[in-house]
Chain A
């Protein structure tokens, strides 16, 4: 399926419809998730603040998903030298930074009433999401500072793959540090410990965030393809 989409013309035809459809799905799922989530009963320990979870946790999931997409696209671009994969990697970085930013801000808003502080350094996951944010920023800075587009693409790919090593360490740091943060409550042996009243809206919002990422990603790749076409047309006009 993906190899068929490697053809830019076919990709543009596909994404023209896929992006708005994914966007509508995202609005529906996030709306349903937030509706259910905001109407869920308050937690016996965390009170109403537990509802920040439905915005915070999916953003952190999608931030990691975005880096996985960035790494995957960079790998394909590096190995197969495919221009569309490079456009996909370039388009994923600012989205990933934005979702990481949402996760950091909402986590900090949740931490204020819960921990009594805007930021708690003893928490491994908060810190590793911050590192993920810095990785996205470093990637974008490297991309922006090399003028030659081909060279900038290749250097950014190498950096993305080096940074991909950091993703498993983010997961690992949760295990390694015994911290203040809530332990894993969804992905763990013995099934989720979250009550269904929270789990359903959380999963709905997670699916909605992923669809929103997909829609925005496709839209940004389309914009990048148009930008390249415009650049090459302008170049051709200047040479003629």
Chain B
């Protein structure tokens, strides 16, 4: 088995067991979405109007949840040092970690998102668009979130710091994704917003591994 395949298997199983894995993110996502009708009142037309956007923003918050364990556990027990010495460059290791994070938390969130949106009273026709937007957006959340997690390694106080550092960076994907969902729902052209979201997500995949590797090396030095 190649080194890369071993690493992918390791990261996937670690991400799956880390802090409850998919259950934690999806559970938070659903619970936070349940709070919304309780706060806004049960009027169906009001809930239907905000369902798409609220689903999208709660999803972006839910994807921040398990970030602080992404690098920290490996950093604390020394596994990150071994990975840095290993045959694969740290950039690849960081990218695999983010992909595992996306597989375990981003993809389940993307599958739960249309259910939550329809549950809030959103139109069923919106469901495929929400699925695509949540999947693509989740990719950029995982990679940007990984950057925040790697940067916070040297501080030993993950959680809130990661959210504060990462949230402003998440604005472009949140804007593009929100525009794609809103335009799709009201019958306006949506392909530009979706293309911008995809471009942003793939740019994150291509570029952030370098910043993550740099941040990890800095924390290790």
Q: Is the CB of A169 within 8 A of B151?
A: no
Render A123-165 as a binary contact track against B, CB cut-off 8 A, 1 for contact: 0000110010011011001100111101110110011011101
Q: Is the CB of A162 within 8 A of B211?
A: yes
A162-B221 contact given A151-B154, A155-B215, A173-B175, CB 8 Å threshold: no
Instruction: Kindly state the separation between the CA atoms of A21 and B171 in the bound complex, as whole angstroms.
Output: 40
Binds A, one of B12-20, B105-113, B157-165: B157-165
A145-B175 contact given A155-B215, A162-B147, CB 8 Å threshold: no
A146-B155 contact given A141-B161, A151-B218, A162-B169, CB 8 Å threshold: yes
Residues of A within 8 A of B211 (CB): 158, 161-162
Instruction: Kindly state the separation between the CA atoms of A35 and B154 in the bound complex, as whole angstroms.
Output: 50
Question: Which single member of A131, A148, A155 contacts B168 (CB below 8 Å)?
Answer: A131
Q: Is the CB of A151 within 8 A of B219?
A: yes
A-B contact count (CB 8 A): 67
Instruction: Kindly state the separation between the CA atoms of A159 and B171 in the bound complex, as whole angstroms.
Output: 15
B167 within 8 A of partner (CB)? yes
Instruction: Kindly state the separation between the CA atoms of A142 and B158 in the bound complex, as whole angstroms.
Output: 10
Render A154-184 as a binary contact track against B, CB cut-off 8 A, 1 for contact: 1100110111011001000100000000000
Q: Is the CB of B169 within 8 A of A148?
A: no
Question: Which single member of B147, B171, B215 contacts A131 (CB below 8 Å)?
Answer: B171
Q: A142-B165, A161-B211 are in contact. List 14 more A-B contacts (CB 8 A).
A: A134-B167, A137-B164, A138-B165, A141-B165, A142-B155, A148-B154, A151-B219, A155-B215, A158-B147, A158-B151, A158-B215, A166-B168, A166-B171, A166-B172
